């Protein structure tokens, strides 16, 4: 993984973890220990799902750049679907507070998407390939020699 990819991943994971910590504190105050556990589990699930998706998308971009956009759209749809499935599976659990889990899951997902958007906007990504020939003057088609 390239260093700018790692930087982008950190710029998304750290705000998500911070939002999860805040949600755990609030859930702990409102719903007790089970609420805090639900928030922590939701934050870990979001970071794992979204982080794995980020890694898969970067590898796809490297090996199959023509499929990057379609893969990105499919990946986000699959991630949201998996999060809803995970939410449905743990709907009636007694391990943690389901409402704190669900609210934190949605909030952490939104924080991840916002942080990823911000990281991408701040990244200095070349969209034009620089010339590989150095030292040559560009030809001016309008001038005569």
Q: Which residue has the higher pLDDT, 29 or 122?
A: 29
Average pLDDT over residues 44-59: 88
Burial class from Cβ neighbours inside 10 Å (0-12, 13-18, 19+) for residue 126 reads: exposed
The percent of residues in the chain predicted with pLDDT above 70, rounded, is 81
User: 115 near 11, Cβ under 8 Å?
Assistant: yes
- Find how far residue 128's CA is from the centre of its chain: 25
């Amino acid at each position: 993984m390239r260093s700018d990819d790692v930087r982008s991943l950190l710029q998304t994971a750290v705000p998500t973890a911070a939002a999860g910590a805040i949600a755990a504190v609030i859930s702990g105050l409102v719903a007790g220990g089970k609420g805090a556990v639900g928030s922590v589990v939701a934050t870990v699930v979001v970071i794992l799902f979204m982080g794995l998706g980020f890694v898969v998308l970067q590898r796809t971009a490297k090996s199959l750049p023509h499929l990057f956009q379609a893969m990105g759209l499919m990946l986000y749809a699959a991630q949201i679907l998996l999060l809803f499935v995970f939410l449905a599976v743990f709907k009636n659990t007694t391990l943690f507070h389901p409402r704190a889990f669900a609210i934190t899951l949605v909030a952490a997902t939104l924080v991840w998407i916002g942080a990823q958007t911000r990281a991408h906007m701040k990244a200095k990504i070349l969209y034009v390939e620089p010339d590989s020939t150095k030292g040559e003057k560009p030809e001016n088609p309008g001038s005569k020699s």
